[in-house]
Amino acid sequence: ELLYTSKGVEYSGTVYYAFACRVILGYPVFTRDGIHSVNMGRIEDHQIFADDGQRELQHIPSVHPPTTYHSLVVQAGPASEGFKVARHREFVVFHAIRILPEFLIAYRRE
């Protein structure tokens, strides 16, 4: 409510908020199942996470000096084809320094 009263706008009940952010994806790794990478539609036997904690991505193959992937793109599709996400692609960034919030969007569902 403070956000509204400070701008002279009346608070009108249930409001939802979302940030619109500018994000640097860099060199992403793609996946269908959240475990293995996908290259040109083929599932590869390449783990996407560096460890069991799933807090850091694997190193990019054949790159020297060793560099980790910068982001993870989870492809969407039917579960019968091995996809874990059904509706929209998900973009996952593991380091906050690659995210710049641009706008706070307020909206209501009717």
Residues 6+ apart with CB under 8 A from 30: 37, 38, 39, 72, 73, 74, 75
The predicted structure's pLDDT at residue 34: 86
| Strands of 42-47's sheet in order across | 42-47, 36-39, 28-31, 71-74, 90-93
Contacts for 16-20 with beta carbons within 8 Å, 24 or more apart? 16/106, 16/107, 16/108, 16/109, 17/104, 17/105, 17/106, 17/107, 18/104, 18/105, 18/107, 19/101, 19/102, 19/103, 19/104, 19/105, 20/101, 20/102, 20/103, 20/105
pLDDT at 94 exceeding the cut of 80:
yes
Q: 48 is written with which tokens?
A: 């996407």
Choice among 8-12, 63-67, 94-98, 106-110 with the minimum mean pLDDT:
8-12
The pLDDT tens digits for 1-45 are 666 777 777 777 788 899 999 999 999 999 998 888 887 666 676
Spatial distance between the Cα atoms of 55 and 89, rounded to a whole number of angstroms = 20
pLDDT for the residue numbered 81: 87
Q: Residue 36 has what pLDDT?
A: 86
What rounded mean pLDDT belongs to the chain? 87
Query: What pLDDT does residue 25 have?
Result: 94
pLDDT score of 40? 64
* pLDDT for res 88: 93
Among residues 20, 23, 19, which one has the least CA distance to residue 99?
A: 23
